[in-house]
Structure 1
Amino acid sequence: MNKILLVEDDDHLGLILRDQLELNGYEVQLLRLPSKTVENLLKDKFDLVIMDKLLSGIDGTDICADIRNTVPISTTPILMMSGWDGAEKICIAAGATNFIAKPFDVNSFLRHIESTLNKAKDFQD
Structure 2
Amino acid sequence: MPKRILILDDSEDILEVMKDTLEMEGYEVQGLNFTDDICKAAIDYNADMVILDYILFGINGGELCHILKTTPTTAHIPVIMVSAYPRVLESLGNYGSDDFVAKPFDLSDITDAIKNCFLKAGNDVEHADCDF
Moved more, 71-80 or 37-46: 37-46
2:9 aligned partner: 8
1:81 aligned partner: 82
**Contact 1:9–1:34, Cα closer than 8 Å, also in 2:** no
Structure (1 or 2) with the greater helix fraction: 1
Return 5+ residue gaps in structure 2 as ranges.
124-131
TM norm structure 2: 0.83
Instruction: For residue 63 of structure 1, report the CA deviation from its aligned partner.
Output: 0.3
- Percent identity between matched residues is 29
1 CA distance for matches of 2:34 and 2:105?
Answer: 23
1 CA distance for matches of 2:68 and 2:22?
Answer: 22
1:118–1:98 Cα change, 3 Å: same
| Structure 1 residue ranges, 4+ long, deviating more than 4 angstroms after superposition | none
2:33 aligned partner: 32
Paired residue total: 122
2 CA distance for matches of 1:9 and 1:36?
Answer: 15
TM norm structure 1: 0.88
Which amino acid in the other structure matches residue 42 of structure 1? Answer: I
1:91–1:76 Cα change, 3 Å: farther
1:57–1:117 Cα change, 3 Å: same
